[in-house]
Structure 1
């Protein structure tokens, strides 16, 4: 912005006038808390969040004759007397130093409302225009508006806030050159302050709260084109009714023209002859007016450092470079007393022409400390760029325990979800069994049982769908274009840069270019691997692609879909850095900045990188939960469940009321039949499916559609050919049971084993989509062993239910038979809903895979 010659009344091109709003309120003032307080908070917050709306604000709290307000101070009362030297009243809003006043004792400009406040700000902004006030035509000659550029910087050192205010006088809206005689203030305000309100009868969150002055009424005299920089500091008091949170402090500076006491109209401004404000700003507004963005703080990681200390690390970025960063953590249970720790900065240094380095480019900030044993509280990071613009990260929660440090952030662990789900499932099954045996007669019991089962299933499966959090990189084996197999386990002790990609993704090519620029400098210390997860990328395609692009590092195919599923890949390209201990220290979706990736590689190589907590679908908890769900669905399938009443009758006949112990024994024999069939089936399917596992992804929508169709058919009561499947099995079993039951095994154990085989065969015959879903999950998470594992788990789930119902058959006999028949339809409907949900999930998962 150019400097005016002082002889033209037109505002400088691009000039922005930011009015300042000084609002006086009281937490014990009914007329304040009845609307004006909230309206002005809303108005000021809009300007703070959006610096394109040019205005700033400071809120002064007053007792105003009595009441309780722990945010009121002698300095805030003194400021109110500045505008209201006689009898004062709140609420009162002074715009541009009283150029317009709302509220107060006489409310010259109207009441304090949001609408009036917005209008007052707009009218103040019009002051910069050199128009003639028709009611006071000589006012512009007496008090020309002076154009000032204002830059505000703020810095923090423990216990002190430093403000640097640069005042540049551009010129005035008059034909005669005029000097500037002004006072400069730097108000220290605080955001997010909780204090008690007598009116609200509870705590109230306040913003823009005046805490003190860094610069108070310093006089400057400037000619057009001159500038001056003022520096002041505010020492944070250690004892206040409401402690100061340094991370939430914002400096607001304003310039008041000592020669201007004008008002918009004589009846709308403050009647006191006090200087009017001609410019204001804060660090965020300074950055906006200067055309650069405030710093960024992201990827905060809380982990265990050296010697069991708590380590906090974050990625920082700024166009102007980062000069300092602080971690603030609450030191007691009140969550309002914070301790500041200066963080170490790493990254590319920014130096001036003389070689003096003053800031860091994009890089990492970290600190390690030892909190008290059993500590738990909030933490936040504040970073400052070289222009004194601060940024405050989101608050995070953490706890410290003798076993180490863990981030909690209000969440629940994956294991807790699964274990809680299992408990709900067991309660649901117990209630269901009680209802079927008529031991529980309440009509609501069946629906409660179904709700418990549904909730348990959802909780148990949640970790698998959402992914468990882990810093350990899941192992994988890939096939390279040279025909070799490489596993992550083989690379233990080395730093690995893993690029998950495909040959047809434009973003992937950009990542390859970045890797190509880094490869010459890091090829001796880092293992570069690009792995395609696209089944269409055959080995021939990959070899041609490698030759075409001139890729010098390893290019491989995710033949077993292990990376795709274990790392929860839904979008590509995706980058990971894995350290020598197999921990993920960096992940990024889409093409990163080359400097960011290089900084992450450097910090991993020197051992300063903190392991990240990332989502993974390959954990045993999630796999077990889904296999457990499949087993329950198979047991209550519409093909096998109709066999249950006949099985109960057979159990009662064969055991002859031998008691619960004998019922459990026979149930174990029947469950052995279920387990045997599915174990054999699992081995065969796993061996066959492993050879085509890379193409199973294309079965996802087919499996999902089949599950949805089957579920809708059952829900609508459509005539499925279930009896054609179940009746032959039942007939064959009934014909075979007498001879097998008397084959020399006490109590007819062979018959129970045969019935278990038949029940398993019936379940598998009409729930093929469920079987395929389990096969796909097992193959994609763990190859042959993964598929076999899922078969074992869901076989055990079915077997457990068989033992339960066998034992209850002895205890409940006819009541269980009648109950199972009575509630068969309801259970079938519930199973249909579950089938639809699972089918929709499979379709959604397939469609969610994106290429960036």
Structure 2
């Protein structure tokens, strides 16, 4: 491998043509994935049976002048005591990047909401939802400390498995009764206890318009026509299987994944377009995998990542707590994507990163520098990378769901996981196959545009890394760019 970077590619017209095409593709694919996520999440956990929300009593951080601004019982808040107010109920977690976008929206609008002159004051209550993974001490340190950059100047409570108050006097799990397996989840509850708005992302495509309008209408007491029900999560075998299928879809198109999805699709599009040339050069041995096989290897990589992280969280939870590290892992993946994209664009070589490059070359082959090109292994690694890059949003849905299944029962646990794995695998295979079939239809053009396609793939990987990094670290900038 040549030890120098080839900066001459930056003078090539095709490189900058690829840059423009990459931006367009990135925006189109990213917008499409966010649209699919928005449409799907809007119907999750919603019921046509319009009933008041389940009452709960949960411990607050008991901060003077903040949590005790409304009546508490030994430091705990009962939701029904807030009747007569408009309540914004925000289900969140420390290690949920998308949740912090919801927090930013609340911070931006809090004083305005508090200043509304309608008959029903607005109260915000954030609920720590990863109570099986994140301790209340972590919640307090992150959101309760005024020196923290994530400080919440409103009521914060900790959810739990026995916080819901049932009619017969027994208790229930908060995530189950509010269908809060997928966070963030922000609800607007009117003064009589009915839900009138719901949002499952921190960057809704309507720029929070419907949510904010619901708050204002509820403040005026004019939101009865917006009411809908919240459906309790079904504990039956069939119910958890369907939930698993649904969550798999949301995970695949989640906001954390959308920066990576365009890069993945572009790589898939370029994979195999030089099959004939590589075979003539002796760099492919045996048959080249078909579209479904390629998708299957990518899906297997994705499932491998889920399995490893699941084992760490639930199998080694006593020795190692992954909560708190997921965000850092996602940032590291984002940086790695930028580096890999730049290396691809400049010829896959670097003095500074030679050691890193050797490690990469040991696992992922490149058709220009390796004796044998291994598309199966490459797609398997892409599947792992796709899941790792979107781990913040993936964790927000998958890990609480798995934790809840562990409590529900062994049979339900198995069926829920099967549903999740089927959904994620099907989508990975389907998207890969569709893109691959499209490649076959354009094979003549692709073969004549090898340099352009590879440059587009490189730029898309860089965009994926930059987009993911900014999404995870600069919510204010992303909000400004989006809105």
Q: State the TM-score bracket (shorter-chain normalisation).
A: 0.3 to 0.5
Q: TM-score, normalised by structure 1?
A: 0.29
Higher RCO (C-alpha under 8 Å, 6+ residues apart): 2
Q: Which has the larger radius of gyration?
A: 1
Identify the structure with the greater strand proportion: 1
Larger relative helix fraction: 2
